[in-house]
Amino acid sequence: MKNQLKHLLFLAQSMFIAMLFLSLSRLVFLCFTFSQFPLIFSDGLFGALIQGLRFDLSALAYLNVVFILLSIFPTRKRESKGYQKLLKVLFVFFNGIALFLNLTDIVNVQFTGKRMTADILSFLSQGDDANNVAGDFMKDNWHLFIIFFIFISALYKSFSFIQDRQFFLNRSKNNWKSYVLSIICLMFTVIAMRGGTQLRPIKNIHASYYAQGKYVPLILNTPFSIISTLSEKGIKEKKYFSETEAQSYFNARQVYKGDSVLDKNVVVIILESFSREYIGAYNTFDGYTPFLDSLMQFSTVCPNAYANGKKSIEGIPAILSGIPALAEKPFILSQYGAQKGNSIASIVKSHGYHTSFYHGGHPGTMGFDAYAEIADFNSYKDLSDYPNSEIDYDGKWGIFDEPFLQYYKTQLDSIKAPFFSTVFTLSSHHPYSMPAEYENKFKHGDIPMHESVGYSDFALRQFFEEAKKSTWFNNSLFIITADHTFKATHQEYQNSNGLYAIPLILYEPSVAKHSTITKVCQQADVLPTIVDYLQLDTSLVSYGNSLFDSTGFAVNYLNNIYQYFENDYLLQFNGSQSLALYNTKLDSLLNKSLLDEKQGLAVKMENQLKAIIQDYNYRMIHNKLQLHD
């Protein structure tokens, strides 16, 4: 009995060490991501850290379950050197994994605003992109690896210290009391895994209940975030309203009438990671895109446009198929990704258009080639189709923007009009490579990203200079937007509003005059906008509106929180209740929630958002993304 108590004390000391180091990794996480939590001190730093302990305990109970079982099982072999060595290996290995994930996820959170979930496993299996950038990731984030090695060394020494000083009673007999203590300890382990004695185990969404969901990435830890989403099988059907009532708030079925097709070419240019913050013409401060600034003087500009996701793999379906990212797993990687739905390509193709998708990345990158097939593009071209890949390869992602856009222009010259085509750039993605002759040619900003934005903007200028010489140019509409945003350096962009702020520009050479669409816009608006612009006679499923329509809203989803933008307001909703309502125009830093002051508006926006979620989940589950009438 005394021997069993000694082993349990040793287990308690070990788990305390594991908790201590995981908590320290959270402090390191906070230091590197502090700009994403500008109100943390006023909202309560200590409270957020305390909330995180519950998720830490759960993650450690899962990761150390074998270590715990071997420690509490009352066998007399526990005192042997081999047994104790095995315990050390298990403890350091699994808790080392926890520290590694927590520290390396700092880079991901700075990029996406969320902890990694189980979908990272699907992403890693898509193409060779992870392998291609692994070396640059380690080189650019060497400081995190140094911190990790310091942590893992300290963890090893701390465990060795308490293990070497244990006095295990030699081979004393175990009785029935030893087994009772083991069962009690096992019960506490299960409770820790579940995050408490409540009816259901805690999930990522439970981190959103503190401070209106502002600190979910800080409260969670990466091992828990991955483990808790491993068993998720898909989205669940919602039934907030009857079908009739839901359609009174939102109807995804849209009908467009046209007498004759306009017969204009449409080119959609998707710029990698171009935040609205980087474009001077959108702001009161200088940006890094002199060409886009000049082009916007002759374009229709949307100053209140938002992305529907935080990753390229979410942005592409939003722009080209009108499918916002309203679930944990990206549409392309999900079990729903193989179903046919509306896409710009499929709709205009039925009206005689040739359709094409160009991306200078590796074959299989993020499943874009498979998506292009499902979306019914006539052709998909990537690095494998580029004629000078050995010369213009950036060494990691694919072809540099300038040569690839020139190649793209010559490809458009060979396509019979009318056509719809999209090109997705890549040079403004980490590690921000550019041809040697252009290094230090563009404005340096506060982060390495800014210089590469200048290069991509230059590449875009060169594309338009050549394209205007082509016969198809003046009979075309160009839509320029971004797949998602990236790291912000100005405070007004470092929150849940600015995190999704992207450019959306419509340039029509035959018109070439400036106008502004001030309503809220989103990536999902691109599909109905093109249908409306071309005067197509068709019906479709759409989670957006034509930019030429007076109605405007935007939706996105992050850290189990839905966001709904309309007019000057942003509503945050966790699936069951509204968390906050902000006036984004008067309160750009999102300091004050207006839920209590504007209850009527909050209820109206919540009902519209609920109707969108209900329709979205139903259509995903029942394969209803495409109309058959």
Give me the torsion for CA of 543, 546, 552, 555, rounded to 10°: 30
The answer on pLDDT for 170 being more than 70 is no
For 629, the 3-state DSSP assignment is coil
Query: Taking a C-beta distance cutoff of 8 angstroms, is the pair 504, 481 a contact?
Result: yes
Query: Taking a C-beta distance cutoff of 8 angstroms, is the pair 624, 541 a contact?
Result: yes
Rounded Cα gap, residues 150 and 147, in angstroms: 5
**Sheet containing 578-583: order of strands:** 554-558, 561-566, 569-573, 578-583
End-to-end CA distance of the chain: 75
Q: Which residue has the tokens 């893992």?
A: 152
The answer on pLDDT for 629 being more than 60 is no
Taking Cα atoms as reference points, which of 343, 369, 433 lies closest to residue 396? Answer: 433
Taking Cα atoms as reference points, which of 108, 117, 104 lies closest to residue 149? Answer: 104
Taking Cα atoms as reference points, which of 400, 509, 517 lies closest to residue 460? Answer: 400
- pLDDT reported for residue 169: 47
Burial (Cβ within 10 Å: 0-12, 13-18, ≥19) of residue 561: buried
Taking Cα atoms as reference points, which of 344, 330, 250 lies closest to residue 540? Answer: 344
Rounded Cα gap, residues 420 and 418, in angstroms: 7
Angle between the N-to-C axes of helices 176-194 and 65-72, in degrees from 0 to 180, rounded to the nearest 10: 160
Taking Cα atoms as reference points, which of 122, 114, 558 lies closest to residue 333? Answer: 122
Q: Which amino acid is at 492?
A: E
- Which pLDDT band holds residue 131 (cuts at 50, 70, 90)? low
- Which pLDDT band holds residue 228 (cuts at 50, 70, 90)? confident
Cis, bond preceding 330 (omega within 30 deg of 0):
no
The answer on pLDDT for 186 being more than 50 is yes
**Residues contacting 68, CB < 8 A, separation 6+:** 11, 15, 61, 185, 186, 189
* Number of separate helices (H) and strands (E) present in the chain: 21, 16
Tokens of 309: 């996701």
Segment 482-494 shows an average pLDDT of 94
Kind and range of the H or E run holding 97: helix 81-112
Gyration radius of the chain's alpha carbons? 27
For 589, the 3-state DSSP assignment is coil
Convert the pLDDT of each residue in 236-295 to its tens digit: 999 999 999 999 999 999 999 887 778 999 999 999 999 999 999 999 999 999 999 999
The answer on pLDDT for 133 being more than 80 is no
- pLDDT reported for residue 176: 62
- pLDDT reported for residue 299: 98
The answer on pLDDT for 345 being more than 50 is yes
Convert the pLDDT of each residue in 528-546 to its tens digit: 999 999 999 999 999 999 9
Segment 27-46 shows an average pLDDT of 89
The answer on pLDDT for 627 being more than 60 is yes
Segment 316-342 shows an average pLDDT of 88
Convert the pLDDT of each residue in 407-452 to its tens digit: 999 999 999 999 999 999 999 998 898 999 999 999 999 999 999 9
Convert the pLDDT of each residue in 347-359 to its tens digit: 999 999 999 999 9
Tokens of 222: 């990466």
CA 261 and chain centroid, separation: 37
Cα distances (Å, whole numbers) of residue 212 to 106, 242, 535, 569: 22, 29, 43, 16
Which residues is 504 bridged to in the sheet? Answer: 481
Cis, bond preceding 509 (omega within 30 deg of 0):
no
The answer on pLDDT for 16 being more than 80 is yes
Can you give the length of the chain in residues? 629
The answer on pLDDT for 199 being more than 50 is yes
pTM: 0.84
Which residues is 558 bridged to in the sheet? Answer: 561
Phi, psi values for residue 335, rounded to 5°: -70, -10
Rounded Cα gap, residues 40 and 56, in angstroms: 20
Tokens of 251: 């109807």
CA 580 and chain centroid, separation: 21
Burial (Cβ within 10 Å: 0-12, 13-18, ≥19) of residue 564: buried
Q: Which residue has the tokens 């018109």?
A: 511
Convert the pLDDT of each residue in 502-523 to its tens digit: 999 999 999 989 999 999 999 9
Q: What is the DSSP letter of 398?
A: B
The answer on pLDDT for 499 being more than 70 is yes
Cα distances (Å, whole numbers) of residue 283 to 438, 489, 512: 26, 13, 22
Convert the pLDDT of each residue in 138-165 to its tens digit: 777 899 999 999 999 999 999 999 998 8
Which residues is 540 bridged to in the sheet? Answer: 254
For 222, the 3-state DSSP assignment is helix
Tokens of 50: 């305390």
**CA-based torsion, 320, 326, 330, 332: positive or negative:** negative
> Mean pLDDT score of the chain, rounded to an integer?
91
